[in-house]
């Protein structure tokens, strides 16, 4: 068998060759502003070494969304994870290739849209915040729910409101304690299905925990009885209400975390859907503030709705890029989800602005090409009176008018990329805008998934792997997986 060092060196060399080839293919998409990237940071649980990952997303020439893991580099021990250092780390990596080493880092970074969480070291204007950067929508939803439910965020509430939400915190604490007991004691094996333990940072797992208890409640009662002391803090009626309240958030989060298909065009619609869902709870007929009776699950969930409405407005703030993306979904191009006509006009003006930029770019490209061709021609004594070469006319306003009257049927599941592939000649400006916009993921979940792979690579027996080796293994795992899928 070859020596481990030999294997490691060959792995790094193979990864380097494939990464160079991949990046060379991606550069034209970056230059045309048709590329987005996600980034996040993670530390392994054995040596506590920090890593930064970069994933790239673009729509290829066949209008297929591509996603690749470009880099999972070990963070220098002596370097702070500041916004500026993260920006410099990414720009240094992107200009380390043969095809980009002579480019000005800022000019390259300005052509990419980054999707990150809302950490200060990601949002700061001294870092990625200086470029086109969008908040991860799944992270925003998680932030909303944390501020609605977690006790440490309830201190700002007055005493009455804190009292209203006490049963919720009591339920969540009781459910967590019960599941932990069932898992550690082995009692969970008495149930026909397992119970799901929550992950502190992921609200979706908290819902999964509550649902797993709800689904097996009858079994649990039959096995342990209603008076089992570990169930005393679990109000099953309130649990049902809260799971119903949380389900639409999970649906939205799961959908927006996808990276196989385009997701950014769904953000605005999910925002409106969740607002309606929250308002339904705010408008429950029973008014808890006028009731002297004992609190019940309806009054508690009404308060949850009111608190969620406040937090959703503060924490779930979308970008105009999300709105433009929704316009590019042909089934929703008239923006009927926006009840305010002025809001529809605002979005349309942003669409027109983006199309105007593209139209100007295309005219500049045409003029530059034309001047090169003309300079190559032999001029004659009559050249000053020659007819002008017809300029290609692309009116973005005309394209919008034609697009708005284009009928695509009622199929909401239409493949949005196939649609724009088929309309490329009919709507050249809109198609170019679609290629630039629809490659952007709604969340940075792609980077988070990389850390799941990293966690399986850096095990207790392999905790001393060098950062360069880890980077190469993760890259090759993703590269060959994507190559196999493309080949298939």
Please write the tens of the pLDDT for every residue from 236-284: 999 999 999 999 999 999 999 998 999 999 999 999 999 999 999 888 6
Provide the CB-side half-sphere exposure for 360 (13 A, CA): 6
**385-417: pLDDT as tens digits:** 666 655 554 588 999 999 999 887 776 678 999
| Coil, strand or helix at 462 | helix
Around Cβ 168, how many Cβ atoms within 10 Å?
25
**Predicted pLDDT of residue 119:** 92
Please give the residue that has the higher pLDDT: either 49 or 4.
49
Question: pTM of the predicted model, to two decimals?
Answer: 0.87
The answer to whether residue 372 sits within a structural domain is no
pLDDT category at 372 given cuts 50, 70, 90 is very low
Q: Do 183 and 289 fall into the same domain?
A: yes
Domain assignment of residue 59, yes or no: yes
As for how many domains the chain has, the answer is 3
pLDDT at position 406 is 87
Torsion of CA 442, 445, 450, 454, to 10 degrees: 170
How far is the C-alpha of 448 from the C-alpha of 443, rounded, in Å?
10
Angle (deg, nearest 10), helices 396-404 and 428-437 = 80
More confident residue, 449 or 435: 435
Give which of 82, 87, 5 is closest to 39, Cα–Cα: 87
Question: Residue 19 above 60 pLDDT?
Answer: yes
Give the DSSP letter string of 379-401.
Answer: P-TTGGGSPPPPPPP--HHHHHH
Residue among 309, 312, 293 nearest 301 (CA):
309
387 is a domain residue: no
Asked, for residue 27, whether it belongs to a domain, the answer is yes
The CA distances from residue 321 to 87, 194, 250, 287, 401, in Å, are 22, 42, 23, 39, 20
Domain that holds residue 298: 143-317
Q: Is the pLDDT of residue 185 over 70?
A: yes
Co-location of 268 and 167 in the same domain: yes
Same domain, 152 and 249: yes
| Range with lowest mean pLDDT among 135-149, 194-208, 215-229 | 194-208
Are 34 and 46 members of one domain? yes
Do 257 and 155 belong to one domain? Answer: yes
Please indicate, yes or no, whether residues 107 and 15 belong to a single structural domain of this protein.
Answer: yes
Query: Do 65 and 88 share a structural domain?
Result: yes
Domain check: are 148 and 263 in the same one?
yes
Average pLDDT over residues 66-76: 94
What pLDDT does 388 receive?
Answer: 64
The angle that helices 217-224 and 203-215 make with each other, rounded to 10 degrees, is 60
Of 3-12, 42-51, 141-150, 312-321, which range is least confident? 3-12
Which residue has tokens 């870092």? 127
Confidence class for position 20, pLDDT limits 50, 70, 90: very high
Same domain, 301 and 399: no
- pLDDT above 90 covers a percentage of the chain that reads 59
pLDDT score at 285: 54
Give a yes or no: residue 118 inside a domain. Answer: yes
How far does Cα 285 stand from its chain's mean position?
Answer: 36
Gap between the Cα atoms of 60 and 417, Å rounded: 11
| pLDDT band (50, 70, 90) for residue 23 | very high
Residue 371 placed within a domain:
no
């Amino acid at each position: 068998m070859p020596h481990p060092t030999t294997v490691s060196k060959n792995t790094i060399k193979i990864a380097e060759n494939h990464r160079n080839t991949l990046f060379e293919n991606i550069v034209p998409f970056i230059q045309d502003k048709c590329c987005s990237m996600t980034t996040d940071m993670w530390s392994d649980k054995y040596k506590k070494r920090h890593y930064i990952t970069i994933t790239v997303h673009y729509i290829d020439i066949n209008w297929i969304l591509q996603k690749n893991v470009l880099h999972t580099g070990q963070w220098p021990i002596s370097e702070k994870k500041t916004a500026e250092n993260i920006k410099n780390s990414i720009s240094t990596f992107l200009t380390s290739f043969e095809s980009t080493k002579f480019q000005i880092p800022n000019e390259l970074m300005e052509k990419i849209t980054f999707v990150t969480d809302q950490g200060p070291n990601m949002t700061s204007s001294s870092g990625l915040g200086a470029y086109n950067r969008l908040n991860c929508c799944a992270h925003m939803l998680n932030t909303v729910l944390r501020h609605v439910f977690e006790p440490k965020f309830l201190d700002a509430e007055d005493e009455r409101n804190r009292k209203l939400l006490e049963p919720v915190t009591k339920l969540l604490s009781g459910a967590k304690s019960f599941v932990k007991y069932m898992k550690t004691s082995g009692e969970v094996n008495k149930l026909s299905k397992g119970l799901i333990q929550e992950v502190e940072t992921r609200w979706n797992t908290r819902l999964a925990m509550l649902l797993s208890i709800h689904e097996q409640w009858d079994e649990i009662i039959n096995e342990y009885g209603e008076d089992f002391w570990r169930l005393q803090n679990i109000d099953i009626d309130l649990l049902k209400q809260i799971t119903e309240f949380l389900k639409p958030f999970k649906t939205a989060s799961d959908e927006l975390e996808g990276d196989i298909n385009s997701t950014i065009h769904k953000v605005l619609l999910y925002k409106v859907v969740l607002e309606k869902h929250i308002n339904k709870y705010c408008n429950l007929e029973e008014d808890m503030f006028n009731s002297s009776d004992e609190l019940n699950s309806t009054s508690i969930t009404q308060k949850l709705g009111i608190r969620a409405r406040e937090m959703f407005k503060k924490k779930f703030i979308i970008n105009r890029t999300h709105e433009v993306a929704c316009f590019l979904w042909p089934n929703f191009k008239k923006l009927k989800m926006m009840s305010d006509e002025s809001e529809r006009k605002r979005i349309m003006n942003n669409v027109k602005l983006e199309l105007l930029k593209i139209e100007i770019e295309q005219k500049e490209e045409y003029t530059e090409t034309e001047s090169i061709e003309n300079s190559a021609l032999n001029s004659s004594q009559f050249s000053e009176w020659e007819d002008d070469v017809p300029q290609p006319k692309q009116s973005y306003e005309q394209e919008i008018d034609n697009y708005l009257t284009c009928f695509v049927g009622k199929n909401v599941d239409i493949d949005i990329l196939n649609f724009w592939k088929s309309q490329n000649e009919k709507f050249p400006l809109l198609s170019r805008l679609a290629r630039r916009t629809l490659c952007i993921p709604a969340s940075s979940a792609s980077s988070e998934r990389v850390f799941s792979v990293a966690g399986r690579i850096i095990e207790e027996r392999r905790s001393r792997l060098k950062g360069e080796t880890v980077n190469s293994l993760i890259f090759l795992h993703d590269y060959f997986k994507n190559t196999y899928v493309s080949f298939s």
